[in-house]
Amino acid sequence: MKKFIYTVLVNLLFVVIGLAQQGNALPQVTRAYAFTNINIVQGPGRKMDNATMIIRDGLIAALGRDIAIPSDAIIIKADSMYAYAGFIDGLCKAGVRQRYTESTEKLLDPASPPPAMAGITPQREARTMLNQDDKEIEELRNLGFTTVQLVPSGNFLPGHAAIILTSDKTTHEMVLISRSAMYSDLVGTRGVYPSTVLGIMAKWRELYQQALLAKSYDQMYVSNPAGLPRPVADPLLEAFYPVIDQHEPVLFKSQRLMDIHRVLSLKSDLGFSLIIADVKEGWPVIAKVKTSGTKVFLSLDLPEEKKIDGSKEKPETFEGIEKDELEKRKAESTRRCTAQASDFQKAGIPFGFCTYSAKVKDIPANLRRMIAAGLSEDEALAALTTTPAKILGLSDRMGTVDVGKIANLVISDKSYFQGKAKVQYVVVDGKVYPVETREAVKIEGGWTIVIQTSRGKVSDRINLRKEGNGYAGTYFSEMLQAPIDLSDVSLKGNQLSFKYKMGNTPDSPQMTVEAVVAGKTFKGVINGARYKNIVIEGILDAKN
C-alpha cells in the first residue's frame, strides 16, 4: 500500500516536471490581468472611457474598447473606476533600513573626524539600505506612488539615490535605477567638522575641486602611465566623477529659501546639474530657479491651515490687536506655501512632487489644497506622473498609461483628486495590489481547484480554515492516500497565498500558490521547483 502511494507521488512529480519542460517550449503561461470597463486617464488631458486594459509580463499590453481578453487573464471588473499612471515621488526616505545614528564617541580633535562620522560617504548607495518589508513603502503604494527616488539616511553627502518600484518583491527586483543621483543636503554633524552651513559649503567646494583634480590626473595616467606615480583610488572622490561629467545630477534637499539660494550658488560656482527637492519655501526664488535650469521637486507637506474667525469681535487691547495681526501674517504665509505649486506652474518651471517630509495621511488633502489654490487637476497629475518621469529620464518607461510602459497604475473609484475618492488597486511592476475591497473577503470553507496543465485540467480540492490570527488548510487529491497540510496560508486584502509540498519526503519540491480572490472564486498561479506560472482557479463550495 505504501509502495502504491509512493508510486503515485513519484508519478505526480514526473507529470509536473514534464509540464514544466513542455512549458518552456509552449507559449509561456504568465500572469496577466484584464481591467474591464475602466476610465483610463492616459496622461494629463488624455482620457479613454469604458475601456479594457490588459497587463502582461509587468507591462501595459493592450488598451482599448474592443479588446479580446486573453484566456489566462485574471479579470478585474473596474466599472466606473479611474486608472492613472502610477505616481512618482522625487525624494523619498521610506523603507531605508539604516537610520542615521549620531556617534557618541568623543574625538580627540573634532577638526578631522573620519569621513563617515562627518556624513561624507557619497560612495554609499540607498538601494543597499532598502528594507522591502517596510510599512512606509506600503503606505506610499496605497496612495498611488509606484516609483520613488529613494535616498540614503544621513546628512551632508550620505550617498547615491536609487529609483525604486514600490512592489513587495525582493530588493533587487524593486530597483529600477541603482544610481540615479548623488544626494546631499546642507546639514552638518554636531560636534565635528563640518558642523554648520559655513563648514558644509566650504567642504562641498573643496571636495568637488579635489575630485576634479583627481579625475584629471586619473585620465592622464590612464592615457599613458609611463613615468607617472600611480594615482591612489579614492572611492569618496570617485563618487563625484559622474557628477563632474554631468551623467548624474546632484539631488539636493533644499526646503527653505536660504537652502535653495546656497545650493544654487554651488551650482553656479561648480557647474553640476541640479535637482532641488522637498522645496517648501521656493516662491521668492522662482526667477532664479528658472534661469539656472534647475529641476524641482516640491514638498507635499503643507503648513496646517488655520481658520480665522471673522465673526469674532475686533480686539481692543494692544496685545489683542498685535496677536490678530500676527495671525493674519501666518495665514498669509500658509496661503503662499499652498499656492507654491501654482506659482511654479505659472512661471513655466517643470516640477514634480516628493513625500520626504510629508505625513502620508495628509498627502491627498494637501494635493486638493494646492488645486484649490490655483493648480489644475491636469497640472497636479502632470506633477505626479509625466513631469517627474521626464526629470528622472524615465519617460520612455513610465509616466503615462500607454502600451509598452511598465504596468505602474493607480486605480480609484472616483476621479483621484475628488475628496471622497478611494484608491482601489495599485499596480506596481505588473503586480496588482488591492487597496480598498468593497466587501470583506471570506476564504474559509471547501474549494474546488482546477489546475490547467498542458495535458488538460486537473481538478482537486482544498479546505481553508481560520487558525489563530491567520489561516490553515489541507490539500485533497484522488491520487493521494492522505491529505497534505498547506503551509504559510495568508490573505492580504484579496491576495491569497499558500504553500504545499508535493510529497512527504524531505526533498519533495515545495509549491507556492499566489492568487487573487474575487467573490467566491480565486485565480492565480502555481510556482515551485520547475513548475512556472501554472494557472490555478478556485471555486468556493456553494454551501459556504
Q: CB burial class (10 A; 0-12, 13-18, 19+) of residue 317?
A: exposed
DSSP state of 455: T
Q: Which residue number, 333 or 415, has a Cβ lying nearer to other proteins?
A: 333
Chosen residue from 7, 100, 217, 479 binding other proteins by CB under 8 A = 217
Asked if 66 is part of the footprint of other proteins (rule: CB under 8 A), the reply reads no
Q: Is the peptide bond before 194 cis (omega within 30 degrees of 0)?
A: yes
224 counts as binding other proteins under rule CB under 8 A: yes
Chain residues 413-442 in contact with other proteins, contact rule CB under 8 A = none
Output phi, psi for 308, to 5 deg: -95, 125
Return the residue of 27, 229, 310, 468 that touches other proteins, per CB under 8 A.
229
Asked if residue 496 lies in contact with residue 503, where contact means CB atoms within 8 angstroms, the answer is no
In the DSSP assignment, the letter for residue 23 is H
Residue 194 touches other proteins, criterion: CB under 8 A: yes
C-alpha closest to that of 437 among 16, 142, 60: 142
- The long-range contacts involving 518-525, CB below 8 angstroms and separated by at least 24 positions, are 518/74, 518/75, 518/76, 518/494, 520/544, 522/443, 522/447, 522/496, 523/74, 524/74, 524/496, 525/29, 525/31
Decide whether 62 or 286 has the Cβ nearer to other proteins. 286
Contact call for residue 10 and other proteins (CB under 8 A) = no
To other proteins, the closest distance from the beta carbon of 352 in angstroms equals 23
By rule CB under 8 A, what string of x and - marks binding of each residue 300-339 to other proteins? ---xx----------------xx--xx-xxxxxxx--x--
Which of left, alpha, beta for 266 (phi over 0: left; psi -120 to 50: alpha)? alpha
- Binding of other proteins by 205 (CB under 8 A): yes
Binding status of residue 490 toward other proteins by CB under 8 A:
no
Nearer to other proteins (CB atom), residue 245 or residue 327: 327
In the list 18, 70, 231, 493, the residue contacting other proteins (rule: CB under 8 A) is 231
**Pick from 198, 233, 308, 539: which binds other proteins (CB under 8 A)?**
198
Q: Which amino acid is residue 431, in one-letter code?
A: K
Query: Rounded to the nearest whole angstrom, what is the least distance from the CB of residue 190 to other proteins in the complex?
Result: 6
Measured in whole angstroms, the distance separating CA 184 from the mean position of its chain's CA atoms is 21
* Cβ-based neighbours of 334, under 8 Å, separated by 6 or more: 302, 303, 304, 305, 306
* Given 102, 109, 313, 316, the residue binding other proteins (CB under 8 A): 109
481 binding other proteins? (CB under 8 A): no
In the complex, the smallest distance separating the C-beta of residue 486 from other proteins, rounded to whole angstroms, is 52
Task: Quote the CA–CA distance of 114 and 220 in Å, as a whole number.
Answer: 29
Phi, psi dihedral angles at 99 (to 5 degrees): -70, 145
| Candidate ranges 45-53, 190-198, 410-418, 439-447; the one touching other proteins (CB under 8 A) | 190-198
Q: 126: which residues sit within 8 A by CB, 6+ positions away?
A: 96, 150, 151, 152, 159, 160, 161, 162, 183
Q: Closest separation between CB of residue 410 and other proteins, Å?
A: 29
Asked if 196 interacts with other proteins (CB under 8 A), we say yes
φ/ψ of residue 273, rounded to 5: -90, 140
261 in contact with other proteins (CB under 8 A): yes
Q: Which is nearer to other proteins, 303 or 374 (CB)?
A: 303
Contact 184/157 with Cβ under 8 angstroms? yes
The site for other proteins (CB under 8 A) is made up of 108-112, 190-199, 201-202, 205-206, 209-210, 213, 217, 220, 224, 227-229, 231, 257-258, 261-262, 265, 281, 284-288, 303-304, 321-322, 325-326, 328-334, 337
